[in-house]
Structure 1
Amino acid sequence: MSRRGRTDEVLVRRVFEEHGAALLAYASRLVGDRARGEAVAQEALLAAWRDPELLEGPARAHLFAIVRAAAGTGPEPDLALLGAVETLSPEHRDVLRALYFQGRDVAEASESLGVPAGAVKARSYHALRRLREAVAG
């Protein structure tokens, strides 16, 4: 195996370790089936392997976009969800933006927002719960 091949393999393994579980859970929810979700998540990882530049910047956001496209849901925003986001407090919106749109992990979000990691986790939990309630009606 060439040096480039080993480097790419290490990169994909690192991406899987960091994001694989979240990608699988997200893909499975989108398609409603774990087996198909595994195929969709694998497609996102293959895209990262083929084009490592996708992982520059907010890697998680790029990977989730690939999962959405592979699942056939496309990039169209859910208007009910967007409306629900607007009802959240600024603190909750900021945490969701950092974690899900900017692809930061809890430590990075904690640092960028200037709050403890525990506060990031709690705000994320409560924000997601409120979103689910608002969208469910």
Structure 2
Amino acid sequence: MGPTSDERLLRALYAEHGGALLGYALRLTGGDRQHAEDVVQETLLRAWRNPQALAGRPVRPWLFTVARNLVVDAHRARQARPPETGDDALAVLPVGDDIDRALESWTVAEALADLSGPHRAVLVETFYRGRSVAEAAQALGIPPGTVKSRTYYALRALKLALEERGLTP
């Protein structure tokens, strides 16, 4: 089975203009051979896809214009996006710690929700709001001794709830 007319067109374009196009692309890309070869390939592919654009005009200037536009577009695309940093930048991000902290926070919140209302209230006042025993007693309307004993038993219950969830001190 012989080559199709499209394949013959592509081969003819490459045979006649490929060398000059590669040299031009090498100058445009600053000598980057891989990039230049990619530009030549894409340019010839566009010529193959749009044979009507080649009809009735000199082919080489059209090919050179397409190649130049491809290089300019690639340069603009690189400028528009942030530079790639590689895996080294990911190693310094504190993602693991943040996730661990968030999971611990959710676990503690769930454990607090399982406590009785009076135990939860005394822990919220003393630990989360930072109130003294006297201030917590006034806010909760209970004697300071009750705040102390509830705090003791609430912490024991919280410790058990956290151990049940696999979070141990």
RCO higher in 1 or 2 (8 Å CA, sep ≥ 6)?
1
Greater radius of gyration (CA): 2
TM-score of the two chains, using structure 2 as the length reference: 0.40
